Structure 1
């Protein structure tokens, strides 16, 4: 017997019923179960009786008409439907937190909130010069700026952690809208008496006979240098990983090796350190930074102002 398909009106009614019954407390409990892998631990974390958690989970699966977990001897494993719901639940709960923060700030006189993720290069090289002009015109707006590697910037904007991101153009921005922001060029940082210091420019291959001070392993600069070394058929003599450009300069100054950082970061950070910056002749040393957003047309008014401000500066640079 052929199953009857729901009419559009019935489908809308079904979706409305699901939305009505899928309350925030239930979503929070669902996320807790996912995090803990165990219903009892989730109930302890949320200070709710295990029987109440179990009933809410049962009701949730019933209203969605799907199984969210596979019950196993080692714990509870998410089904594909459960994985999809977890993604949406985290975004929904995060958005509720944002509402609470925004409303509290409005009550305190703040007139908007911009959430931005940016890679280290943009924070050190460009944003300190680009942001003051924005705040001169929008003094009652607050900026929540977090530093993340470029790939994590993309993921964070996709997941709604921030509305705007700045990352290296080298990484895949997938479905995000991207706009050109700024350009920089990577240089090799050496001590002033290093054997390479008299060269006007060097190739990255020239540096592989020396120890290297590398940025953190997930940075786009480090990943690019590793990839290039592999293509050349050599390995980097990595002596130490450090978290930032200032630490690269300090370690180079201490004789730990040569470093790879953007030219503008070197100009800002190397004053008085008796270091030299050597131009890299590799094409990949010339880099582009891009602005990314999930849906520019759907940005909050304050985030749209920030995006427009940064794009205007990019166009004039």
Structure 2
């Protein structure tokens, strides 16, 4: 084993209680704060920290006037500790569910387009025939979906079709089309369809900076050599529609989102004519065999409408 790396025997001496105390020190900034959180004496926390640094052979925290701060080694340990503690908590929850008759869990990461447009009905249909399976769904931007599945945070992911799947296997899921949403009195509202370049003379409301829709609009505006007149970033499709309703600017959303939200807000949808407005969504999974429950869900999503 190279110098400076913990040997397996050292790793075997780490325990969750000590790691939880270490995370508490980092988050509270003091030994006393960590001691209050753990309901033990500060001297016991100090002893645990000294033992942990002794086991790992490096300094994990430095004292500063405003409290304790992790060293670079401490930051590395804190990153992995948080993941370990989250996994341990998830193990406890899932085993408790198994004791109540649950037959399996599937962890899913998905972008907002998939969650809003297609997953509610798809998951409802899946769970109707597989009532013993629990699905844990989390929203992330498409790049974060790929990264999370690669890291093992989730069993499968749903992302924009143009996303680099890196080491993952990718399967087609659904297709959608982007439209402009606006109040009925907007200058473009009476058009049957509009090219994106024509919208650049008007204000826009955009999704958050990591969303695939925002990055597409930004890159296309740059390609056209014109600025994207973005008045505000918002975190969700309903927020885009609400801002468009208030006259803050044009919104770009999938057509199905307008069908769900637009009519009650009295918003008009005008299709974009650009080729990139026709989009695909993809399923991504790690290579190799999936857990049985995840395999069932993947098959269900791949054979859906």
Residues 115, 145 of structure 1: 8 Å contact kept: yes
Does residue 267 of the first structure (1) align with residue 265 of the second (2)? no
The SS at the match of 1:194 is coil
Rounded Cα–Cα distance in structure 1 between residues aligned with 2:204 and 2:24:
43
Rounded Cα–Cα distance in structure 1 between residues aligned with 2:264 and 2:73:
58
Q: Hey, what does 1:219 align to over in structure 2?
A: 211
Rounded Cα–Cα distance in structure 2 between residues aligned with 1:277 and 1:32:
50
Residues 179, 290 of structure 1: 8 Å contact kept: yes
Q: Hey, what does 1:309 align to over in structure 2?
A: 300
Rounded Cα–Cα distance in structure 2 between residues aligned with 1:30 and 1:172:
36
Does residue 247 of the first structure (1) align with residue 247 of the second (2)? no
Rounded Cα–Cα distance in structure 1 between residues aligned with 2:68 and 2:147:
26
Rounded Cα–Cα distance in structure 2 between residues aligned with 1:285 and 1:198:
19
Rounded Cα–Cα distance in structure 1 between residues aligned with 2:205 and 2:103:
44
Gaps of 5+ in 1: none
Q: Hey, what does 2:86 align to over in structure 1?
A: 94
Residues 110, 137 of structure 2: 8 Å contact kept: yes
Give the drift of 1:159: 5.2
Rounded Cα–Cα distance in structure 2 between residues aligned with 1:309 and 1:95:
27
Q: Hey, what does 1:136 align to over in structure 2?
A: 128
Which runs of structure 2 are paired with 1:61-100 in the superposition (5 Å)?
61-100=53-92
Which runs of structure 2 are paired with 1:1-317 in the superposition (5 Å)?
14-15=7-8, 17-158=9-150, 160-271=152-263, 273-293=265-285, 295-297=286-288, 299-313=290-304
Give the drift of 1:200: 4.0
Residues 110, 142 of structure 1: 8 Å contact kept: yes
* 1:291 to 1:42, Cα distance in 2 relative to 1, 3 A: farther
Give the drift of 1:23: 0.6
Q: How many residues align?
A: 303
Residues 94, 161 of structure 1: 8 Å contact kept: no
Give the drift of 1:51: 1.7
Residues 181, 288 of structure 1: 8 Å contact kept: yes
The SS at the match of 1:202 is coil
Give the drift of 1:104: 1.6
* 1:75 to 1:178, Cα distance in 2 relative to 1, 3 A: farther
Rounded Cα–Cα distance in structure 2 between residues aligned with 1:304 and 1:66:
43
The SS at the match of 1:102 is helix
Pick which of 252-261 and 171-180 moved more: 171-180
Give the drift of 1:205: 2.2
Residues 165, 292 of structure 1: 8 Å contact kept: yes
Rounded Cα–Cα distance in structure 2 between residues aligned with 1:50 and 1:298:
47
Q: TM-score, normalised by structure 1?
A: 0.81
Deviation string, structure 1 residues 240-260 (Cα, Å, up to 9, x no partner): 444432333343344332210
Pick which of 164-173 and 104-113 moved more: 164-173
* 1:272 to 1:187, Cα distance in 2 relative to 1, 3 A: same
Rounded Cα–Cα distance in structure 2 between residues aligned with 1:40 and 1:62:
21
The SS at the match of 1:201 is coil
* 1:236 to 1:76, Cα distance in 2 relative to 1, 3 A: same
